A and B are shown apart, each in its own frame.
Chain A
């Protein structure tokens, strides 16, 4: 066991972790952060996506010890004050069904829009190509994002 400290949703946290523990398990089981989901535990699905210093990463492929002194953001952090414009758009366009992929996809797109507020459809597709959604057929997700970039219509 080793104690690590890092910023979780803008708050300092310390936690004891095993050297081989993945960030996903530590967030969910030791820190009570449940929005990152487990869908495969091998980097295929993106349900476990979190932001590491603003970059979307798969928390099932990252060891908890690696985030020492870094910033981790999850959907809990994004939703705390008020919903983001992206979340509002997800509601308006029904960009989720079962909702299991939504936390990961919202974070991946949050990173995209941060870097590139006016992405093309191709760029949008590229940014979430590693986030699987079995329910929506993705089109409603594209629509929500396009509505924010000024290129979309409903």
Chain B
């Protein structure tokens, strides 16, 4: 393997000093001076209703209130993949918490007290609170106009229904596949909604100055996408919209696209000269940002005695909420990939995006794959059991290999799934489970494999500017977000490797759309791959400029030159060593005292030119919608108290194929962090809505996320490296994937330990104990 200086090394994070010294600036840390206004939202208390009247008279009398805006002031529609949302509700509300208007005041206290005094009169409409009800033919329609909404060409809404999008994938002949099967297993699995719970809540500050220029400071994964959507919704030129995104206190998909940020942006246009801040409370963070979609999945699988899956029918009905401008693409992504990481000849997938009167569903780390894999990987384990084949072996037999055909016909990329399966199984001594010393406890082993592709438009792109400074340090201008994963460091490693500059000498600033070049969004675990390629190209561009200058001045052929230790060297003349800092800005003085060269500035971009969403809507055959998949597998030993159902995670191993781990410690960081986030969705996180569609636990006391005491006893992160041919140094993304196997592997371990099968999330101790009791009573 090639010897790299910075690639594959555990380089110290370049944002470390900022973040551990307290210097890191987040949006709310910026001071905006005396002209700052505070916005608070008037929110719907109804899940489905017509707005009859909004009385703001009492609210306007509160001292310090400046203005109050409602839907009649703004009719702008917005949305990422489908424009089905309004900035403020227009005559009708569709979920509890939906923004009806905003009070703008000189102090946050005034804004809050005024909001409490706004009286909204509603005419309640029937509400549908789950997707199965919403699919009934007599269900009330949330969006009677759905088929007319502007949208991307790969969405297929059904007029006169609550179906916003229906992705169908068909491969082979399902009937023949089932006919060949010796065993057919059919069941239904369900997964509820979840909340991201980034520690920093959503926040945005917008200013429309007297020259007509809009600047928005936001906590976002998507500065350029926000700029685009603001420009579109407000009818402004892109050059007059500037989005500045300082550090982000956690994203997990929740800060992708545009949600609440458009509110201050729109308000600002009517409040010229002021800055307007909207900072979400923890409660609003739960009730009116994206939530993870819920799903009901019906799976029918057929397999032969020797362990080959012959047919898979997978129907997924998604609770996508009141607006699906982003969430419908979650549904789409899973509709293409619900075969899981297996090569199956006969497949039928229906992934159906259903409107409900609950908060908008949207991107959440895993982008639908966690939900889909809970059912599929549970089913795989059960099928193996019925066939009397070890479930790990069953996965090995069916695991997709490079070059195999996916369900939509494109070829699978190079990937090390077999290796991941073997290594995860070996790490916990699969098949040799320990016996608990405590007779009231039993230990089970669980396993799950996973895959996921970035879901993005076929032309999603990245770009990079790289500027050398006088001392040969570098400023790298890119527009991906370091939402914690270590993106800035990895980009510095890539540039540093090519230019022989230590990453610690490279500064990567957080984005400002005025200065930093275009990036689609930091989502889809595609940024290491996509922006990494752009950075690599920018560094190569700079290197080319350097070599051509050396050639012009010293006449060495370009192909004998190389960079090492921050200097240009020559393969044919070992005496030639020219430090970069001697010339990367000032140029090189020649004999007659004139200078050649000048500042070296590299520029690079990347777009996957092979990607396409043009396919047959009835089968999904014909396109190349996914650039590649990242695969992996995980296994665990789970100890369960038979009386209380309490579970202890003894040992968890997760193996993932990173292509090339540019910074192995950061990959391991994603594994430990993602695993715990995934495990929590199984063991205790749970959004509870009442029969009126109101969330009952919108805070961190009642919606419990893991604390330091909930960490598994041992986590074994395993990195597999089968290079991605078009990845920077072979790298592909891994960030979201680390969450994916958690739910099914726990369900599978519970069955192994107690012989009970739990088919819905979450799997709380209480649920385990009760199910176990019921099963025992039956026997």
Contact A139 B19 (CB under 8 A): no
Selected from B24, B250, B699, B700, the residue in CB contact (under 8 A) with A135 is B250
**Closest residue on chain A to residue B21 by CB atoms:** A79
Distance of A53 Cα from B706 Cα, bound (Å): 29
**Inter-chain contact A35/B22, CB cutoff 8 Å:** yes
Given A34-B25, A94-B665, A99 contacting B282 (CB threshold 8 A): no
Which residues of chain B are within 8 angstroms of A130 by Cβ–Cβ distance?
707
Instruction: Please determine whether B699 and A40 come into contact, CB atoms closer than 8 angstroms.
Output: yes
Give Cα A98 to B365, complex, Å.
15
Which of B192-200, B370-378, B568-576, B637-645 participates in binding chain A? B192-200
Q: How far is the CA of A96 from the CA of B198 in the complex (A)?
A: 13
Q: Which of B680-698 contact A (CB under 8 A)?
A: none
B15 in the interface (beta carbon within 8 A): yes
Q: B18: which A residues are within 8 A, CB to CB? A: 99
Give the shortest distance, in Å, between A86 (CB) and chain B (any CB): 9
A99 / chain B contacts, CB cutoff of 8 Å = 15, 18-20, 24, 247, 249, 484
Contacts of B25 in A (CB 8 A): 34
Whether A41 pairs with B281 at a CB distance below 8 angstroms is yes
Could you say which residues of chain B place their CB within 8 Å of the CB of A42?
A: 282, 699, 701
Q: Which of B22, B201, B673 contacts A97 (CB 8 A)?
A: B673
Closest to B701 in A: A44
Q: Which of A37, A74, A96, A125 contacts B20 (CB 8 A)?
A: A96
- Residue among A44, A76, A134, A137 facing the most chain B CB atoms (10 A cut-off): A137
- Say whether A132 faces chain B, with CB atoms less than 8 Å apart: yes
Evaluate contact between B705 and A132: CB separation under 8 angstroms. Answer: yes
Residue in contact with A47 in the complex, picked from B21, B199, B715, CB distance below 8 Å: B199
Residue of B25, B29, B665, B707 with most chain A CB atoms under a 10 A cut-off: B707
A-B pair count, CB < 8 Å, reads 157
Report A84-98 CB contacts with B as 1/0, cut-off 8 Å.
000100111011111
Within 8 Å by CB of A137, from B249, B701, B715, lies B715
Q: A99-B247, A100-B250 are in contact. Are A39 and B20 (CB under 8 A)?
A: no
* Inter-chain contacts of A32 with B (CB < 8 A): 31
Q: Give A101-154 interface residues, CB cut-off 8 Å to B.
A: 101-103, 106, 124-126, 128-142
Task: Enumerate chain A residues within 8 angstroms of B675, measured Cβ to Cβ.
Answer: 137
Chain B residues near A101 (CB-CB < 8 A): 199
Cα(A44)–Cα(B700), bound, Å: 6
A75 at the A/B interface (Cβ < 8 Å)?
A: yes
Given A44-B700, A44-B701, A103-B22, also A94-B669 (CB < 8 A): yes
- Is there an interface contact between A98 and B17, defined as CB atoms closer than 8 Å? no
Pair A135/B708 contact, Cβ less than 8 Å: no
B486 surroundings in chain A (CB, below 8 A): 94, 97
A38, CB-defined interface residue at 8 Å: yes
Judged by a CB distance under 8 angstroms, whether B461 is at the interface is: no
B745 proximal to A (CB < 8 A): no
- Cα distance A78–B200 when bound, in Å? 23
Count of interface residues, chain A, beta-carbon cutoff 8 Å: 52
Instruction: A138 to B715: give the CA distance in the assembly, Å.
Output: 11
A100 vs B248: C-alpha distance in the bound complex, in angstroms? 8
Residues from chain A with a CB closer than 8 A to the CB of B20 are 83, 87, 90-91, 95-96, 99, 102, 106
Q: Please pick, from B282, B705, B709, the residue contacting A134 in the complex, using a CB distance under 8 A.
A: B705
> Could you tell me how many residues of chain B have their Cβ less than 8 Å away from some Cβ of chain A?
54
Pick from A87, A102, A128, A134 the residue with the most CB of B within 10 Å.
Answer: A134
| Contact A98 B22, CB 8 Å, known A91-B17, A140-B672 | no
Q: How distant is the Cα of A34 from the Cα of B282 in the complex, in angstroms?
A: 19
In the complex, what residues of B have CB within 8 A of residue A74's CB?
22
**A8 within 8 Å of B (CB atoms):** no
| Contacts A99-B15, A99-B247, A134-B197 given; does A40 touch B708 at CB 8 Å | no
Which of A47, A133, A141 has the most C-beta atoms of chain B within 10 angstroms of its own C-beta? A133
How many Å lie between the Cα of A141 and that of B20 in the bound state?
12
CA distance A120 to B401 in the complex (A): 46
**Within 8 Å CB of B24, what residues of A?**
99
Contact A134 B708 (CB under 8 A): no
Inter-chain CA distance A91–B669, complex, in Å, is 13
Q: Is B181 interfacial (CB 8 A cutoff)? A: no
Report chain A residues within 8 Å CB of B673. 97, 135-137
Question: By the criterion CB–CB under 8 Å, are B201 and A39 in contact?
Answer: yes
Which residues on A sit within 8 Å (CB–CB) of B706? 137-138
B198 surroundings in chain A (CB, below 8 A): 98, 100, 134
Q: Would B13 and A136 count as touching, CB distance under 8 A?
A: no
19 sampled A-B residue pairs with Cβ under 8 A:
A37-B26, A41-B281, A44-B282, A79-B23, A90-B16, A94-B13, A94-B665, A96-B484, A98-B200, A98-B251, A99-B249, A102-B19, A125-B711, A132-B700, A133-B708, A134-B196, A134-B198, A135-B199, A138-B672
Closest 3 CB pairs of A and B: A97-B484, A99-B19, A100-B249
